[in-house]
């Protein structure tokens, strides 16, 4: 599959993106994150239960949209980023996002960086639980995600518009204004 043509919105890096978020998103889209289901080939008798919810197997599909913990985080992110949340497969979700996130208006930018941040923070929480035995609630993960995005948003320069005012109010952030 030609990932660049199909998921071009991820490849269109700009100064708005947080690079760690984008890198993890890129790996997730290509299904290259080292989830435990990939280890099952070499260690078939071991249990590879999701460290976030304790229910399903640790795989890309489960981790990002079938895991109860991740779904709670996604629902909150989608609400604040004005993304239509649908519990589906990872591939379908990425396809839908790639179709809807073209453009440079403030909400398109917020959606892009929010999706990347959600994937990054879910992956980070999974790793913290798996390797550091450190657990946070969905509220704590969502709070850290929002705080990081608010910091990034303060660096975005925008033209004055109703959408910008709405985003500032919803996110409790102040964008830089372009001199017209």
Using one digit for the tens of pLDDT, what is the confidence trace for 108-142? 889 889 989 999 999 999 999 989 999 999 999 99
**For residue 168, is it within any domain?**
no
Structural domain boundaries enclosing 120: 18-136
127: nearest Cα among 46, 19, 43, 20: 20
**For residue 149, is it within any domain?**
no
Higher pLDDT, 17 or 57: 57
Backbone angles phi, psi at 157, to 5 degrees: -100, 130
Each residue's pLDDT tens digit, 36-84: 877 777 777 777 889 999 998 888 888 887 899 999 999 999 899 988 7
The pLDDT value given to residue 5: 47
Q: What is the rounded radius of gyration, in angstroms, for the C-alpha atoms of the chain?
A: 17
**For residue 180, is it within any domain?**
no
Is the pLDDT at 16 greater than 80? The verdict is: no
**For residue 97, is it within any domain?**
yes
**For residue 155, is it within any domain?**
no
Mean pLDDT, the chain, as a whole number? 83
How many H helices and E strands in the chain? 9, 2
Is the pLDDT at 102 greater than 70? The verdict is: no
Lowest-confidence pick of 1-5, 100-104, 157-161? 1-5
The pLDDT value given to residue 1: 46
pTM of the entire predicted model = 0.85
Task: Name the residue with tokens 């035995």.
Answer: 133
The pLDDT value given to residue 99: 67
Q: How many domains does the chain have?
A: 1
**For residue 125, is it within any domain?**
yes
Angle 138-153/162-171 helices, nearest 10 degrees? Answer: 140
Question: Which residues, listed in sequence order, are joined to residue 158 by a DSSP beta bridge?
Answer: 177
The pLDDT value given to residue 72: 95
Share of the chain above pLDDT 90, in %: 42
Express the helix, strand and coil content of the chain in percent, nearest 5 each.
60, 5, 35
Is the pLDDT at 6 greater than 50? The verdict is: no
**For residue 80, is it within any domain?**
yes
**For residue 93, is it within any domain?**
yes
């Amino acid at each position: 599959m030609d990932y660049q043509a199909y998921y071009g919105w991820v490849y269109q890096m700009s100064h708005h993106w947080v690079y760690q978020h984008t890198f993890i998103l890129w790996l997730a889209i290509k299904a290259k994150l080292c989830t435990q289901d990939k280890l099952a080939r070499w260690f078939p008798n071991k249990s590879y239960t999701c460290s976030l919810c304790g229910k399903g197997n640790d795989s890309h599909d489960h981790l990002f949209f079938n895991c109860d913990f991740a779904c709670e985080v996604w629902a909150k992110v989608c609400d604040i980023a004005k993304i239509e949340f649908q519990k589906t497969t990872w591939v379908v979700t990425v396809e839908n996002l790639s179709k809807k996130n073209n453009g440079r208006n403030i909400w398109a930018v917020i959606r892009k960086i929010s999706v990347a941040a959600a994937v990054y923070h879910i992956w980070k929480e999974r790793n913290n639980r798996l390797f550091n035995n450190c657990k946070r609630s969905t509220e704590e993960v969502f709070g850290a995600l929002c705080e990081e995005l608010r910091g990034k948003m303060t660096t975005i320069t925008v033209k004055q518009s109703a959408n910008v005012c709405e985003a500032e109010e919803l996110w409790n952030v102040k964008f830089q204004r372009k001199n017209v």
